[in-house]
Amino acid sequence: MGEQADALSERLVGSLIGATEIMNVYLGDRLGLYAPLAEGWLTSSELSDRAGVAERYAREWLEEQAVAGFIDVEDETASAADRRYRLPAEHAQVVLDRDAPTYLAAYARMLVAAAQQLPALMDAYRTGGGVGWAQYGPDMSEGQEFGNRPTFINALAEWFGSVPDVHERLSSGARMADSASTPRSPRSRSRPLPLLRWVTCRTLYGSNAISRATRIARATATCCCWLLPVTRRARIFARSDMKRRSRFTSL
């Protein structure tokens, strides 16, 4: 083969390995396998009990994660049943800590959600149609939420605070319209903003995303609204009284 073929072949092999690693990150995230490992050394049987999964699958997942370098092995010479594993603290910031700026496990959810809709996407290619956001399901909307979360809670307030006009308006109690994520108030250690009237607007997302946004809004006393695609009107739940509602036509 020529140099170009060799280079592309090597690239695709790397992509295949990366794809399998992403799928295993997805399993670790969705099945809650990372959290117990962050607390200390565990055998496959102990992880099985803690996470509520079959021991055989826990063992195979642990072995793959160890070979990939995601988790540590205490003694590689130990038998499969006695071998103990743990998640390093810095790796936990990438696959477990949803507040950390380095958190990336959320994007495994998005990739899996996208892959599941490839048949629908092929139909769209043939017909000229599309694949609605709601069709991607909770993995996509929650993946986007958790993917955006570190930026929103760690950096967004500082960004707003660096723009004098925006900082002044938000400090005086202006509502903030967020067209993408589940309600999360921004915070910044270096430049905190006063408590905001945080409004989440969803125009294209499905019922799962809206239901989740509403539950979080009610639990955190955050304003929550959704724009109705046809009428372009929105329903507001007030921070002080979630039963009190008002309407407006634009944000």
The two three-digit tokens of residue 123, written as one number: 């139909």
Task: State which of 111-125, 159-173, 176-190 shows the largest mean pLDDT.
Answer: 111-125
* Residue-range domains of the chain with CATH: 3-92 (1.10.10.10), 110-248 (no CATH)
Main-chain phi, psi angles of 53, to 5 degrees: -125, 165
Q: What is the bridge-based pairing of β-strands 197-200 and 175-178? A: parallel
- Report the pLDDT averaged over residues 169-189: 57
Give the pLDDT confidence of 99-129 residue by residue, as tens digits: 999 999 999 999 999 999 999 999 999 999 9
> What does 79-144 look like in DSSP terms, one character per residue?
-TTT--EE--HHHHHHHT-TTSTT--THHHHHHHHHHHTHHHHHHHHHHS----GGGGHHHHHHHH
Least confident of 31-40, 65-74, 210-219, 230-239: 230-239
The two three-digit tokens of residue 56, written as one number: 């055989």
Asked if residue 163 has pLDDT above 60, the reply is yes
Q: Quickly tell me which residue has 């999360």 as its tokens.
A: 184
Amino acid identity of residue 98, one-letter, is R
Report yes or no: 230 and 203 within 8 Å, Cβ to Cβ. Answer: no
Give the pLDDT confidence of 190-246 residue by residue, as tens digits: 444 544 444 444 444 555 666 666 666 566 555 444 444 444 344 444 344 444 444
Long-range contacts of 23-27 (CB under 8 A, 24+ apart): 23/108, 23/112, 24/61, 24/64, 24/65, 24/68, 24/70, 25/70, 25/95, 25/105, 25/108, 26/108, 26/109, 26/111, 26/112, 27/61
Stated pTM of the model: 0.74
Query: Is the model more confident about 222 or about 71?
Result: 71
CA-based R_g, the chain, Å:
22
pLDDT of residue 168: 77
